[in-house]
Amino acid sequence: MSFFETLGARIESTDSVVSVGLDPDPSRLPEFVADADLPRWAFNRRIIDATHEHAACYKPNAAFYEDADGWRALAETIAYAHGKDVPVLLDAKRADIGNTTRQYAAALDRADAITVNPYLGRDSLQPFLDREGKGVFVLCRTSNPGGSDLQDLELASGEPLYERVAALADVWNGNGNVGLVVGATAPEELAAVREIVPEIPFLVPGVGAQGGDAEAAVEHGLADHPDADVGAGLVNSSRGIIFAGEESSRPGDEATYFGAAGDAAKRLKKRLNRYR
């Protein structure tokens, strides 16, 4: 079964395109996980308990796991999400060369999909693309202010760089396992990319803390997809869900804290479903 088939089945069974970003920023973790053996894992486990009914996938960002304890916490988190039948997309934005990028691709032994950076070109992504059952989301147009510095540069052929990246990703998609990361902060760019690659699923970040437009994300990024069965894509929210209960983070507040995360995931699901 391909990643997009698995994801499509999950989207259907949960009636949700919400990707829940698991970015357990140490400085924002509530007091009541501080004493756990692996605080990030203790936190993620409770977040997964609270949100999994509304989660099409979980998206841990690798940046929050880059130390010895972190990698243990990440491994447990992935296993636990799988225990709840939720696919895991590792947001790593990796790419390197030769034997090094083969080593990075080993992250797909555990995770079901990964984000990658296209700047080093096709061979830097090949070991990821070769994993037929796994998903590979190529950064195309990102939602941060500096996203325009390179991605919007006009090429001699007339189109901006990010549109060329979308076209290249289509060429690299021999195994049908390629997705694109296209930010929600620029709806007209979402529409432009969708026109170039009508069949490639999108991961749309930037809804929530970054202020992107959920309606545009679904309308241009997801709803037009001709083959809903394999999953038109995902809309991610991280801090807007996992830290939704931050006002209630004293010992004793656990139920309120994690309940707020569950409510936030459910609210986003419903908001997005209005446009699907």
Cβ contact 235:242 at 8 Å = no
The two structure tokens encoding residue 246: 């931050």
Choice from 2, 53, 133, 148 touching a copy of itself (CB under 8 A): 148
Tell me if 151 contacts a copy of itself by CB under 8 A: yes
| Coil, helix or strand at residue 112 | coil
| Coil, helix or strand at residue 128 | helix
Choice from 9, 36, 161, 223 touching a copy of itself (CB under 8 A): 161
DSSP 67: S
- Using alpha carbons, list the distances in angstroms from residue 4 to 12, 89, 256: 12, 12, 34
Cβ contact 258:264 at 8 Å = no
Tell me if 122 contacts a copy of itself by CB under 8 A: yes
DSSP 165: H
Q: What's the rounded Cα separation, in Å, for the pair 167 and 72?
A: 37
Tell me if 118 contacts a copy of itself by CB under 8 A: yes
CB of 273 to a copy of itself, least distance (A): 26
Choice from 5, 53, 215, 239 touching a copy of itself (CB under 8 A): 239
Tell me if 37 contacts a copy of itself by CB under 8 A: no
Active site residue 93: yes
Tell me if 211 contacts a copy of itself by CB under 8 A: no
Q: Give the contact letters, 68-107, x = binds to a copy of itself (CB under 8 A), - = no.
A: xxxxx--x-----------------xxxxxxxxx-xx-xx
CB of 149 to a copy of itself, least distance (A): 3
Among residues 135 and 205, whose Cβ is nearest to a copy of itself? 205
Q: Which helix (H) or strand (E) segment is 91 a member of?
A: strand 89-94
CB of 53 to a copy of itself, least distance (A): 26
Q: What's the rounded Cα separation, in Å, for the pair 52 and 79?
A: 14
Among residues 9 and 120, whose Cβ is nearest to a copy of itself? 120
Would you list the DSSP string of 206-235?
Answer: -BSTT-B-HHHIIIIIITT-S-GGG--EEE
Q: Which stretch binds a copy of itself (CB under 8 A): 5-13, 43-51, 114-122, 261-269?
A: 114-122
Residues 6+ apart with CB under 8 A from 29: 39, 40, 43
Tell me if 149 contacts a copy of itself by CB under 8 A: yes
The two structure tokens encoding residue 88: 């895991």
Tell me if 44 contacts a copy of itself by CB under 8 A: no
Tell me if 13 contacts a copy of itself by CB under 8 A: no
- Using alpha carbons, list the distances in angstroms from residue 237 to 43, 102, 175, 204, 264: 17, 29, 28, 9, 10
- Say which of 59, 84, 93, 134 is annotated catalytic: 93
Q: What's the rounded Cα separation, in Å, for the pair 70 and 62?
A: 9
Q: Which stretch binds a copy of itself (CB under 8 A): 129-137, 163-171, 194-202, 250-258?
A: 163-171
Tell me if 59 contacts a copy of itself by CB under 8 A: no
Active site residues: 93
Task: Please report, as ranges, the residues that interact with a copy of itself according to CB under 8 A.
Answer: 23, 25, 61, 63-64, 66-72, 75, 93-101, 103-104, 106-107, 117-125, 139, 142-151, 153-158, 161, 164-165, 168, 205, 210, 239
